[in-house]
Structure 1
Amino acid sequence: MLEYKFDTQLLIEGTDLSEDEINDYITENIEGDCLLAVGDESLIKIHFHTNTPWKVLEYCASKGDIHDVVIENMDRQANGLQG
């Protein structure tokens, strides 16, 4: 069994976005691992493994417009099922 069940990926589009600020907030406030927050001040790609993907979505939506949201259940994938 995986420690963190959901692979959460999305894009944040906005103005004056900061990779460091987003990375720090998620790391300090949302339990998970494998965080990537990369991009520039107008577009950030997020990848994060967590059991609470809704917290990631809520936070990211507060930073800008979110889209291309993908949440996959890695337990199901590990068992050969659709994520």
Structure 2
Amino acid sequence: MLEYKFDTQLLIEGEGLSEDAIHDYITQNIQGDCLLAVGSESLIKIHFHTNTPWKVLEYAASLGEIYDVVVENMQRQADGLQG
């Protein structure tokens, strides 16, 4: 059984985005692991393993436009099922 079963990935497009601020917010407010928040002041890519992907999406949407959203169930994949 995986501790965090949803692989959550998305892009945030906005103005004045900060990799560090986004990383710190997610780390402090949403349980998970394997966090990547990389990009520029106008485009950030998020990758995060969590059990509450909707919290990541809600936060990201508060920062700008989100798109290319992918949420995959890694537990199903580990069990040999479609994720």
TM-score range, shorter chain: over 0.9
Is 1:23 the counterpart of 2:2 in the alignment? no
Equivalence for 2:70? 70
3-state SS of the aligned residue for 1:70? strand
In the aligned structure 2, how far is the partner of 1:15 from the partner of 1:52? 26
The count of corresponding residues between Structure 1 and Structure 2 is 83
Partner deviation per Cα, 1:41-77 (whole Å, 9 max, x = no partner): 0000000000000000000000000000000000000
Opposite residue 14 of structure 1, the aligned amino acid is: G
Equivalence for 1:42? 42
Give unpaired runs (5+ residues) of structure 2: none
Q: CA RMSD in A?
A: 0.3
Paired-residue identity, %: 83
Runs of 4+ in 1 over 3 A off after TM superposition: none
